Structures are given as C-alpha cells and as structure tokens.
Structure 1
C-alpha cells in the first residue's frame, strides 16, 4: 500500500531516509535512534530496508527492533519502518557505487515525500546518498535538493547550511562555477533572500538581518574585476531594501562571513556552492545542517557524504545526523510553516 493511501493523521514527527545503503547511512541512523529518548523514538519513522537496519544494529551491538509500518504486531520500543527493499537476489555492495543502491536511495526519498505529503510524517531527514550511484540508476539529479524539487513539483529550491554561529543560503549550488556566474541575476538573488527571510521568521526571528555576499573580489572594485556586483547584486539589494527587508550588500566575501560569525548578521546569501560551504564547514563541520527551502515540504539533512571508505566498519560518527534531527524537531514541534 502506498503512503498516500494510509490515512492523513500525522503519526510521526520525522521520517528518516536510509540514503545509499552501501554507505554510512544505516549505521548513523541506528546510532542516532539508539541515543533517542523513548518519546522521540516513538515519533520517528525510518524509511528503508528493515533487514539492512537490523544488520547495522547488530554490527553496533545494539538490540534495536525494527517493524514494518502498520504491522499488526509490534513490541514496546520498536522502530517503525516504511519498507523500501533492495530487489530480491541483489547483494549489498558495501562501500561501493552501484545502481541498485542508488535506486534504493531514490525510492526512499520518494516514499518519504509521499509520507509527508499525505500527512503521516512532519519533516524529512535524509541520510547521505551518492550522486554517481544515483546517476547509474538513471536518476539524473544534482542531489537531494533538485530531487525534492522535482518530486514535489516546486519550481526551485534553495540550500541553507545552518549552524549556531554562521548560516549561509546559496543562490546556486551543484553547478559549474561558470554556470554559477550566469545564475547571479537580480531575480534569483531576490528569491533567495525572500526564502531565507521567511524561514528565519518562521523560527521566531522577527526581523532577520541578511547580508548578500559579492561575487567578484572586493565586489568588483567598481567594475575593474567584473561588473556583476553592481549590475546584478546591488539592484537586487536595493529592491529588497525598498520593501523594508533588513538586507545589506553586496559585501565582499572575504569579510562578510567573518562579520556574520561575530553576530552582525543572521544569514549570509552566498553566490555559489563553495563560497558558502567553505566558511560554514570550517566553523562547524560536525554540526552544520543542510535545510531545503522553497519546497512545499520541510527537509533537513546531514552535511556530509556516504563515506564509502569507512562504511560498514562501525566507525561512522552520527553527530551530524543528530544535529539534523534536532533541527527537524525544531521545525515540526513548533508548527512552523
């Protein structure tokens, strides 16, 4: 039975997708669930293959019990799983790229979207997938963000990296640097700021202070190093300021992140992937949460990959997943839009 046919009353605060089963997803999920309070565990739904979760739990010496969603018989403390299985006869290729694992990762996300859209779960939390495996399976997305936009019919989406001391929202993410420059348009910058502003307001920040990073060195030095800052970014900022947004910019990227980390801004809008990722990961590598904005559903994620080199060895750290789960609880339990 598909999730859309299973009722509309929310049973679970969060639905955690397995990610690529050949990576560290199953292990870090089991670690995170084992550390939960009984109350949190009761409102957590996993998505994936129960047999793989059981195998990961045994590897960790855990006695976690997993039961299929809507199973007639359950035991106290068991964890519900919306079942998405590997095809019959397919062996899990631990720590390696495979089309079967990439397809399973996609199907887990697809099922989680269905569960949230049908009202059975509140927020999706995603474990890491592998883009090469995803593409081998025929799912040609740039990652979770683009996949979720496609599955939900959203015209666009935005990647927020949130941490205690510095948060960045990106005008573009998984595209070449050459294409990222082409995406620096007033329209895209305005939409990015609006999405970040609305999200921060939903978290209780009444008047978010947002800085927009420049694209070129020293914001182009009046056109000497490129004209995108004065031709595209400055007009977008002026338009937002005229609508009473507390937004500043363009501010040179070699100073804006430092200023934000010192508390001057609540959010920095970065113009491309590495411009925003590098400073946040430098400051808060283990606790940064990836949040998708601009979608009709809410989703948080770890900010790391599948770590095939240590997968299925009992060595993976679940700290980052714990941060993603905590952020998801913050969203769903306060009934933020």
Structure 2
C-alpha cells in the first residue's frame, strides 16, 4: 500500500458548515484509507461540530503534523484556539469568524511551504466575515496567491474525470470577451499543460471551447474564433501542446467527459461552471494550480442558512480530500 499523504484541512469559517462537513467526512473510514487528514482549526468548534453531526470521533490535539495518529476514529487537530465559543453564532457574519478562517489558512500554507503537509483541502470561508475582520483578501485564491508568493494561479475543476481550466474568472461577460486574445490563449494552454504535468498527466489532450454559437460558424456569428482563438491555439501547437479547437461549447464538455480530451479550456466563468455542476454538483472539486503546493477545495459556500443544523451534505468535502490524496503523490513542489 502506498504511503498516505498528510492533507491539511483548514476548517473554514466557524459559523458556517465547514466544521460540520469536515467532521462528517472524517467519520468515514475511506478517508483514512487514502490519506492522513489533519484539521487546522479551533478545538472547541471541532468538538461542538462532532456533537452536532453525532459522530463517534475523539479529538487529538497536536502541535506539529509529525505528532498525528492519523487513525480512523481520531481527529488530529492543530488548535489555534482563536474562537470564543460562547460568542459563536452559527450563520452570522463576524470578525472573529473571518479572522479565524484566515489564520487557519495561513497556518496551513506555512505547513505546506515547510513540507510538513503534502496538500491543502480547503473548506468554505465567508467574504463578509473576512471584510468584518479587515482581512485584505476577497477569497481563497487571492489569499493563497499572496501567502505563497505566486502569480496568477490557475483554477481547474475536476468532476467524474473531466477537467476544466478557465481563461478568465470573475469578470463581467463583456470584460471576459475582451480578455480573449491569441496571446492569452497561447499562454494559458502552455500553463495548463504544465499544470497537468504537475498532477501526473503527461501529454495531455486539450480542447479549447468556442465562444460563439457553433464556434462562430466561420464568422457568421462573430469573429473571435477566427481572429483570436484559432491563432492562439496554433501558437500553442507550434510549442508542442496537443490542443484542438475551438470546439463548440455545446459539445466539448460532453466529449471531455467521455474521454476524448484530458482537459477543456473554458473561456469564461459560467461556461465551465455550468458544465461541471450540471455533471455532478456535489462532486465538482476546484484545484488551484500554480502554487508551490497542491490545493483542492469544495465548490460551495459557507451555507450560513443551514449551519449548525446537521443538514449540510458532506459529499463535496469527501471528494475534495480524496482528490487531494489522489494527486498528492504525483505533485512535485519543485516543478513550478
């Protein structure tokens, strides 16, 4: 049996569902079969979450990853002791929640950069709570980028074997179209190729999604494919990238799901998000490439409306940890 990797799990905003879905996940032996999960959080919040989800789990407080037991039935926790449990209100925006969530991620990054954990599997954080705590980041990606000293990390979704990269992320559709240039398509295909190599996928086959209906139908429905996307793909092919397209967006994701391509480059946020989440919402996992360490994440929020009620579905968190465990052995920190 292969050596299990230590996966750091920052527990997320304590007022959200992060602690619950983490405890529900760690109540399943299959997680311990594939990795050594290590929670970075607050012991008081974790113990409360264990009671809420009615799990048969014991907490083992440690100060360093090497001290963990990593045995089913025991939750190894690095306790930052930064939450006043008497003031914790589920479903409420709070500065202590935002500050706590940031500190769990910061500690996890420090452990990853030191090589003490192999990967991060992150839980939801809340943008309003971060703002209340005056944490100067809007979300995980920006936080990780700065803490790790990386530049423009790549987001990749994986669901049922289908991988999707994004040429643009949080932009209006009008602004996203303005970012679709041959230079950017070329650059991203090279970076996506390297990202797949870091994950252990060699000679990856890429498809670039079309922007317009039927990929523009030879210019009848727009010229972006002719003027920018095709030339960008051609430049990447010259550099040895196995890339095809633009492939009409109404068929490319189906083809990738059925094994024709190893990855699809989605041109804008919703194009790829809709394809992934309609395939399997709960098993859509986000992987951040371009960091000095592997990071996977659930692709849902803190769900304040159901936090603390033992309603939250843990499938996405389980999948998040499993994907981190799957790729961690192939991941070389020196292959940026």
State how far apart, in whole Å, the 2-side matches of 1:99 and 1:122 are: 30
The equivalent position to 2:265 in structure 1, one of 260, 265, 269, is 269
The equivalent residue for 2:325 is 329
SS state of the match for residue 167, structure 1?
Answer: strand
2:9 pairs with 1:24: no
2:176 pairs with 1:183: no
State how far apart, in whole Å, the 2-side matches of 1:74 and 1:119 are: 15
The equivalent residue for 2:232 is 236
Residue-by-residue CA offset, 1:116-142 (whole Å, 9 max, x unaligned) = 001111100001112232233223434
State how far apart, in whole Å, the 2-side matches of 1:42 and 1:223 are: 51
Asked whether the 8 Å contact 2:130–2:138 carries over to 1, the reply is: no
2:203 pairs with 1:207: yes
Shift in Å at residue 283 of structure 1? Answer: 0.6
SS state of the match for residue 45, structure 1?
Answer: strand
- From the superposition, tell whether residues 225 and 273 of structure 1 become closer, same or farther in structure 2 (CA, over 3 Å): same
The equivalent position to 1:104 in structure 2, one of 90, 97, 100, is 100
2:49 pairs with 1:53: no
Asked whether the 8 Å contact 2:200–2:331 carries over to 1, the reply is: no
2:152 pairs with 1:156: yes
2:73 pairs with 1:80: no
Asked whether the 8 Å contact 2:31–2:318 carries over to 1, the reply is: no
State how far apart, in whole Å, the 2-side matches of 1:293 and 1:118 are: 18
State how far apart, in whole Å, the 2-side matches of 1:164 and 1:117 are: 30
Asked whether the 8 Å contact 1:41–1:79 carries over to 2, the reply is: no
Asked whether the 8 Å contact 1:11–1:120 carries over to 2, the reply is: no
- From the superposition, tell whether residues 52 and 157 of structure 1 become closer, same or farther in structure 2 (CA, over 3 Å): same
- From the superposition, tell whether residues 223 and 143 of structure 1 become closer, same or farther in structure 2 (CA, over 3 Å): farther
State how far apart, in whole Å, the 2-side matches of 1:131 and 1:248 are: 38
Q: TM-score, normalised by structure 2?
A: 0.88
Residue-by-residue CA offset, 1:220-255 (whole Å, 9 max, x unaligned) = 344454433222222210011112211012222122
Is the deviation greater in 176-185 or in 245-254? 176-185
- From the superposition, tell whether residues 64 and 42 of structure 1 become closer, same or farther in structure 2 (CA, over 3 Å): farther
SS state of the match for residue 29, structure 2?
Answer: coil
State how far apart, in whole Å, the 1-side matches of 2:177 and 2:136 are: 22
Residue-by-residue CA offset, 1:132-183 (whole Å, 9 max, x unaligned) = 3223322343421222112111111111110124221111212322332232
- From the superposition, tell whether residues 132 and 186 of structure 1 become closer, same or farther in structure 2 (CA, over 3 Å): farther
2:121 pairs with 1:125: yes
2:291 pairs with 1:308: no
Is the deviation greater in 280-289 or in 31-40? 31-40
Q: TM-score, normalised by structure 1?
A: 0.88
State how far apart, in whole Å, the 2-side matches of 1:220 and 1:138 are: 45
Asked whether the 8 Å contact 1:145–1:292 carries over to 2, the reply is: yes
User: In the comparison of the two structures, how many residue pairs are matched?
Assistant: 328
Shift in Å at residue 42 of structure 1? Answer: 8.0
The equivalent residue for 1:69 is 62
State how far apart, in whole Å, the 2-side matches of 1:238 and 1:182 are: 20
Shift in Å at residue 78 of structure 1? Answer: 3.5
State how far apart, in whole Å, the 2-side matches of 1:81 and 1:246 are: 44
- From the superposition, tell whether residues 335 and 56 of structure 1 become closer, same or farther in structure 2 (CA, over 3 Å): same
